[in-house]
Structure 1
Amino acid sequence: MHREKALDAGLHPEKIRVEADPYVPIAAARREILEGIVTQLRARGRVPRVCRYALAVGGQEPRHSLDAAAAFAVRQSWRIGVGQSYTDHHGAAESLTRPGWCLVRQQIRAGYADGVVVVTHSVVSPHIDAYKQQLNWFGAHFGFVALVVPEMQEWRP
């Protein structure tokens, strides 16, 4: 399909082309998982429990990011457990090797949390494939990822 598009673009350079945002289907799937889990939990009389996660820049605690995640959780009527805030250094390796992110996943796997709240998807991973892998992992473990700023509102170059 990509070859056909490239060939068509070469043969018809005057044609206007609009590229689909690759995050649209990912955002829809993420929201569907989140809404499904929250609905099931509330139907059982449970308040969703979440962790907060953020990346620290320059060794500073990401207080604004963690506060934004907490405010988002409060607006959703979710509960943040004591000690359920995790951070890693910005620029650290992919999410699977970050200690704080691994602790979030342990909380989900152990059933101590139902989801994680982050400010933007790039906190999970700036790479679309790695981001999708993390969303799939959370969905497979009956967990969700909530974003303060949805994928569609983020600025991407």
Structure 2
Amino acid sequence: MTDVFDFSAPLLAGGEQPLAAWRGDVLLIVNVASECGFTPQYEGLQALAERYGERGFRVLGFPCNQFGGQEPGDAGQIRACGTRFGVSFPVFAKVEVNGTEAHPLFRHLKEQAPGALGTQGIKWNFTKFLVGRDGRVIRRFAPQKKPSELVQAIEVALDEPPPGPPSGA
């Protein structure tokens, strides 16, 4: 069965990044945008990354321009937004999260954690997906859900034991 760690994506700074680099960590995967009303959530996401980083928690940001054209910039402009909010977590190159050109990672995330009423489409920027240490998608959070409101779910995920070696190893 496919899990999140089977995917890779291009980084904003260039090069392809396998998500397997974070195997065994808890991930919060977020589609971000520089000119969105939710953009100040970058601060909260960074606070979570700092608070739980030593326990194996990682935030991964994926810029997307599919919602109101709120991520129109190039890599330099996206990086400047992250700098403005003190972001040190990985930010990937701009991706699509819906439609036929959706990045395979986001197709997987949406299949594993449908939204309200079972819909798969992502409705707006700053939709968040919590992923367990075993690579399974635990839960989807709506854009309105502030990073600080995810603390309980993150702590539960961090308290799960790390996965054992793959069967047959």
Same fold flag (TM > 0.5): no
- TM-score scaled by length of structure 2: 0.30
- TM-score scaled by length of structure 1: 0.32
